[in-house]
Amino acid sequence: MQTIIRSTDIDNIDIEVIKLASEFLHSGDMVAFPTETVYGLGANALDELASAKIYEAKGRPSDNPLIVHVANEEQVKRLVKEIPESAKKLMKAFWPGPLTLIFKKSDIVPKGTTGGLDTVAVRMPDHKIALKLIEYSDVVIAAPSANTSGRPSPTTASHVKDDLDGRISMIIDGGAVGIGIESTIVDVTEEIPMILRPGYISKKMLEEVVGKVEIDKAIIEPMREDVKPKAPGMKYRHYAPKADFKMVRGDVLKVADYINKKTEKLIEQGYKVGIIASDETISNYILGDKVSIGSRLDELTISRNLYTILRDFDDKEVDYIFGETFESEELGHAIMNRLQKAAGYNIVDVR
Ligand code: AMP
Ligand code: MG
């Protein structure tokens, strides 16, 4: 299959590009498109055969459900059994935006889209191209991240091309994304809303709108075998670079000392080593391929750079990566969640 790549300006959308993409969606084919979080790999969510193509193209396990993207509330109503009060408030506050809500699904949503579950994940993306595509085609679009399963999520059209060229009908290139990590997922089917995946919308932001919010235990205690995540996708190793990736936590100077010593040894043995530091700490490192992920005071930049840095290390065929940790209650919580998963929870404490 030849993958057609078309660019369009987000502030001056080329309707011909949207028309072509819409034709592919109506024929049950796949189109990758930008959203404010990461690039999505879209197909008609109500067409089981179209959803099946997504799983195949990504090599995604079939029990890992897809998020359905909508452009208006009418579409939500068709997809779900009911919209609970908590959901109404969250939709009003954060949609369009990087928040996915889990509802009880209606009968029109095929189980091939929901990984066999009776619930459905729904999101209204805050991106003019994505919204235009959903509105124009009038297709609710099932769209996971447009990467090969297990690789870092794509934040540019060229990342999508690297993974999926020849496997999908079209890529809409709308430039780099704004946030760079996936949406916050919140289950609103229970009395108290529960965060199943951290993202840009933090627990504090949610609680300001709906009161008490819980966090799925599996996110906080990822090492416990007996705690199964409620978002099926969270159990898979995700976002992973090819190199052996270790995170190092503790006092900044001790972290640098640890990484410098390890790096020196590995380079002596002939290995390539990458280091993920921040603007504030990069000068503490001596050897290796040092990269700053951004300033610690600017978490949005860090989140935007995260997957590109991991992919760049893959391209450079680095053997080992050492990374500093980034912890905070806000976006830093989501950043750290992705880094931990990328590192397979391989964290050293040097306190
Ligand atoms: P991705 O599209 O790659 O960002 O992954 C979507 C995430 O949403 C995965 O972690 C899924 O497990 C999660 N998800 C989608 N639908 C549901 C659902 N009905 N219940 C719980 N988690 C879901
Ligand atoms: Mg994904």
Q: Is the CB of 145 under 6 A from ligand 1?
A: yes
Q: Which atom of ligand 1 is nearest to the CA of 197?
A: 10
pLDDT exceeds cutoff 90 at 329: no
Kindly report, residue by residue over 294-310, the tens digit of the pLDDT.
999 999 999 999 999 99
CB 11 within 8 A of CB 152: no
pLDDT exceeds cutoff 70 at 52: yes
Q: Which atom of ligand 1 is nearest to the CA of 121?
A: 16
Q: Is the CB of 121 under 6 A from ligand 1?
A: yes
CATH number at residue 165: 3.90.870.10
**Residue whose CA lies nearest to ligand 1 atom number 9:** 233
Tell me, yes or no, whether 28 and 86 share the same domain.
yes
pLDDT exceeds cutoff 70 at 67: yes
Q: For residue 115, how far is its CA from the centre of ligand 1 (angstroms)?
A: 9
For 29-33, 235-239, 329-333, 337-341, which range has the lowest pLDDT when averaged over its residues?
A: 235-239
Tell me, yes or no, whether 157 and 278 share the same domain.
no
Q: For residue 135, how far is its CA from the centre of ligand 1 (angstroms)?
A: 23
* Residue whose CB lies within 8 A of the most ligand 1 atoms, among 64, 119, 307, for a mutation test: 64
* % the chain with pLDDT above 70: 99
The pLDDT confidence band at residue 223, using thresholds 50, 70 and 90, is: low
Tell me, yes or no, whether 226 and 255 share the same domain.
no
Q: What's the whole-model pTM score?
A: 0.95
Final residue before a domain boundary, out of 206, 235, 264: 235
**Residue whose CA lies nearest to ligand 1 atom number 3:** 144
Instruction: For residue 42, give the 3-state DSSP assignment.
Output: strand
The pLDDT confidence band at residue 316, using thresholds 50, 70 and 90, is: very high
* Residue whose CB lies within 8 A of the most ligand 1 atoms, among 197, 237, 307, for a mutation test: 197
Based on the structure, what is the number of domains in the chain?
2
* CA atoms in the 13 A half-sphere facing the CB of 324: 29
Q: Which atom of ligand 1 is nearest to the CA of 143?
A: 2
Question: How many Å apart are CA 32 and CA 155, to the nearest integer?
Answer: 12
- What is the predicted pLDDT for the residue at 220? 78
Tell me, yes or no, whether 187 and 256 share the same domain.
no
Tell me, yes or no, whether 213 and 136 share the same domain.
yes
Tell me, yes or no, whether 83 and 198 share the same domain.
yes
β-strand pairing of 119-123 with 99-104: antiparallel
pLDDT exceeds cutoff 70 at 324: yes
Residue type at position 16: E
Tell me, yes or no, whether 27 and 51 share the same domain.
yes
Q: For residue 145, how far is its CA from the centre of ligand 2 (angstroms)?
A: 4
Tell me, yes or no, whether 184 and 86 share the same domain.
yes
Kindly report, residue by residue over 254-295, the tens digit of the pLDDT.
999 999 999 999 999 999 999 999 999 999 999 999 999 999
Tell me, yes or no, whether 53 and 159 share the same domain.
yes
Kindly report, residue by residue over 208-221, the tens digit of the pLDDT.
999 999 999 888 77
Task: Output the average pLDDT for the chain.
Answer: 95
Burial class of residue 151 (count of CB atoms within 10 Å of its CB; 0-12, 13-18, 19+): buried
Helix H or strand E segment including 22: helix 15-26
Kindly report, residue by residue over 144-184, the tens digit of the pLDDT.
999 999 899 999 999 999 999 999 999 999 999 999 999 99
CATH number at residue 263: 3.40.50.11030
CB 199 within 8 A of CB 181: yes
pLDDT exceeds cutoff 90 at 227: no
Which residues neighbour 168 within 8 Å (Cβ) at sequence distance 6 or greater?
Answer: 1, 3, 29, 30, 31, 32, 41, 57, 146
- Sign, CA torsion 20/26/32/36: positive
- What is the predicted pLDDT for the residue at 298? 95
Domain, as residue range, for 322:
244-349
CB 238 within 8 A of CB 313: no
pLDDT exceeds cutoff 80 at 347: yes
Tell me, yes or no, whether 196 and 162 share the same domain.
yes
Tell me, yes or no, whether 207 and 322 share the same domain.
no
Q: For residue 10, how far is its CA from the centre of ligand 2 (angstroms)?
A: 23
Final residue before a domain boundary, out of 209, 235, 261: 235
Q: Is the CB of 231 under 6 A from ligand 1?
A: yes
Kindly report, residue by residue over 103-157, the tens digit of the pLDDT.
999 999 999 999 999 999 999 999 999 999 999 999 999 999 999 998 999 999 9
- What is the predicted pLDDT for the residue at 221? 73
Q: Which of 225, 15, 185 is nearest to 102 (CA)?
A: 185
Question: How many Å apart are CA 311 and CA 52, to the nearest integer?
Answer: 27
Give the helix ranges, DSSP H, for 203-298. 203-210, 217-220, 252-268
pLDDT exceeds cutoff 90 at 239: no
**What mean pLDDT comes out for the span 97-101?**
98
Q: Which atom of ligand 1 is nearest to the CA of 66?
A: 15
Q: Is the peptide bond before 152 cis (omega within 30 degrees of 0)?
A: no
**Residue whose CA lies nearest to ligand 1 atom number 13:** 231
Tell me, yes or no, whether 157 and 220 share the same domain.
yes
Burial class of residue 138 (count of CB atoms within 10 Å of its CB; 0-12, 13-18, 19+): exposed
Which numbered ligand comes closest to the C-alpha of 151?
Answer: 2
